């Protein structure tokens, strides 16, 4: 499990690292929440599972750069600080903790939430309002559901798992297609065109998959 802690306090960062290491959890510490939020968004969607904010402002601007599935733990000075977070109405905030910290309790909570989420999301991929059922090979948006062909399903799954990252044609060929099969240079473009048509015709979505000139494709 990978955990990110945003803190400007070196002492707390050291304590956190020691606590997490003893429980075999990978902890990254950052003092720049906006920069780190953007880097989280650029990484694959299942890379960072938890964001722990240590006495740092959690702004609306930060909300917009965090991946949708991020679980957020907030460390506060006293319960009066809650009013600042209530205004955000962000359901990704799942726990609050007061100083001094009980790291064993925090780690138990992280494990419990991660385990529960793993069972709830098994067989599903969700991004940008779209939901893929990996067992049925369908994509849904709202109450509408469409059955996808094998490569359409695999390509859309790949793009959604890497939401926010530009994937080159060669990368998509490697991840989705078997290099031993007969593929042409425009294979990716043809399938992207099909997916765009499906998303527009069935769900009214026009700009979910963007073409980045000289780079590749981006799922937004």
Same domain assignment for residues 85 and 139: no
Same domain assignment for residues 61 and 163: no
pLDDT of the residue at 57: 59
Please identify, among 121, 146, 178, the residue that sits at the C-terminal boundary of a domain. 121
Can you tell me which residue has the tokens 């991929």? Answer: 125
Same domain assignment for residues 71 and 12: yes
Domain count across the chain: 2
Same domain assignment for residues 138 and 96: no
pLDDT in tens, 48-73: 566 777 766 555 555 566 655 667 77
pLDDT in tens, 9-50: 777 778 777 777 776 666 777 776 666 666 655 554 444 566
Of 119, 138, 128, nearest in space to 160 by CA = 128
Q: pLDDT band for 1, please (50, 70, 90 cuts).
A: low
Between residues 50 and 97, the one the model is more confident about: 97
Same domain assignment for residues 108 and 143: no
Same domain assignment for residues 212 and 176: yes
What is the domain-level CATH number for residue 172?
1.10.10.10
Please identify, among 121, 148, 181, the residue that sits at the C-terminal boundary of a domain. 121
pLDDT of the residue at 26: 66
What is the domain-level CATH number for residue 10?
3.40.50.2300
Same domain assignment for residues 111 and 31: yes
Same domain assignment for residues 8 and 72: yes
- Are residues 141 and 133 in contact, defined by beta-carbon separation less than 8 angstroms? no
Same domain assignment for residues 8 and 112: yes
Same domain assignment for residues 51 and 128: no
pTM score, two decimals? Answer: 0.47
Same domain assignment for residues 165 and 87: no
pLDDT in tens, 180-202: 445 556 888 999 999 999 999 99
| Lowest-confidence segment of 107-111, 115-119, 171-175, 212-216 by average pLDDT | 115-119
pLDDT of the residue at 200: 93
Question: Residue 158 is encoded by which pair of tokens?
Answer: 């790949």
User: How many Å apart are CA 31 and CA 21, to the nearest integer?
Assistant: 20
Q: Which helix (H) or strand (E) holds 37?
A: helix 33-42
Same domain assignment for residues 48 and 64: yes
pLDDT of the residue at 135: 78
pLDDT of the residue at 202: 93
Neighbours of 162 (CB within 10 A): 21
Dihedrals phi, psi of 151, to nearest 5 degrees: -75, -30
pLDDT in tens, 148-167: 988 898 899 999 988 888 98
Please identify, among 59, 87, 121, the residue that sits at the C-terminal boundary of a domain. 121
Domain hosting residue 143, numbered range: 124-219
């Amino acid at each position: 499990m990978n955990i990110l802690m945003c803190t400007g306090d070196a002492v707390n960062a050291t304590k956190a690292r020691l606590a997490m290491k003893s429980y075999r959890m990978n902890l990254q510490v950052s003092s720049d929440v906006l920069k780190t939020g953007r880097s989280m968004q650029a990484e694959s969607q299942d890379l960072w599972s938890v964001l722990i904010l240590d006495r740092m402002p959690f702004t609306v601007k930060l909300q917009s750069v965090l991946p949708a599935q991020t679980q957020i733990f907030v460390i506060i000075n006293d319960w009066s600080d809650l009013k600042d977070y209530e205004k955000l109405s962000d359901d990704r905030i799942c726990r609050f903790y007061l100083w001094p910290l009980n790291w064993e309790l925090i780690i138990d909570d992280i494990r419990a939430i991660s385990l529960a989420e793993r069972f709830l999301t098994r067989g599903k991929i969700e991004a940008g309002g779209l939901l893929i059922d990996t067992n049925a090979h369908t994509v849904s948006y709202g109450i509408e559901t469409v059955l996808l062909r094998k490569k359409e399903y695999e390509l859309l799954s790949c793009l959604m798992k890497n939401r926010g990252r530009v994937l080159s044609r060669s990368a998509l060929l490697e991840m989705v297609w078997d290099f031993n099969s007969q593929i042409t240079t425009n294979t990716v473009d043809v399938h992207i065109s099909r997916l765009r048509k499906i998303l527009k015709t069935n769900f009214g979505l026009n700009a979910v998959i963007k073409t980045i000139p000289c780079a590749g494709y981006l799922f937004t």
